[in-house]
């Protein structure tokens, strides 16, 4: 299983960017390998937050469509996940609260790989960040 971070659907629907091609190639390779792709509800919230912040509400639905079309499952965020995220956040890894939530979800579901361009995930042990397949 591979967790899809919020930057992936945003690069896929966004304008030209060096990571756009890398995201497209990584997703295509993972699909060809029949990898199970998953995400969490926090990724959907991040899409809402980002596109609202840059006043691009027109991009919200396409990004949702991409994520929901790619993900075999989108995990909910429950109290126990947020409690674990708090522990991760206080663990001196220098992660954002959002990244801590993703890591807590990943731990809960035994996921060790994340497709992301966010290098912050590299600081967390037992998680392997991939940017290609």
| Tens of pLDDT, residues 4-45 | 999 999 999 988 888 999 999 999 999 999 999 999 999 999
Q: pTM surpassing 0.75?
A: yes
Q: How confident is the model at residue 132 (pLDDT cuts 50, 70, 90)?
A: low
With 0-12 CB in 10 A as exposed, 13-18 as middle and 19+ as buried, what is 90?
exposed
Dist CA 40 CA 9 (whole Å) = 13
Cβ atoms of 111 and 73 closer than 8 Å: no
- Look up tokens 């390998």; give the residue: 33
- SS3 label, residue 26: helix
Q: Is the pLDDT of residue 54 over 70?
A: yes
């Amino acid at each position: 299983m591979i967790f899809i971070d919020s930057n992936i659907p945003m690069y896929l629907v966004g304008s030209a960017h060096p990571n756009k091609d890398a995201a497209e190639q990584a997703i295509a390779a993972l699909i060809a390998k029949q990898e199970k792709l998953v995400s969490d509800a926090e990724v959907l919230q991040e899409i809402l937050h980002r596109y609202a912040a840059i006043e691009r509400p027109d991009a919200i639905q396409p990004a949702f469509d991409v994520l929901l079309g790619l993900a075999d499952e989108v995990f909910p965020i429950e109290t126990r996940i947020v409690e674990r995220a708090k522990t991760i956040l206080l663990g001196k890894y220098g992660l954002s609260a959002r990244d801590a939530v993703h890591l807590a979800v990943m731990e809960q579901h035994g996921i060790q790989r994340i497709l992301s361009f966010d290098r912050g995930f590299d600081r967390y042990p037992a998680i392997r960040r991939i940017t290609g397949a």
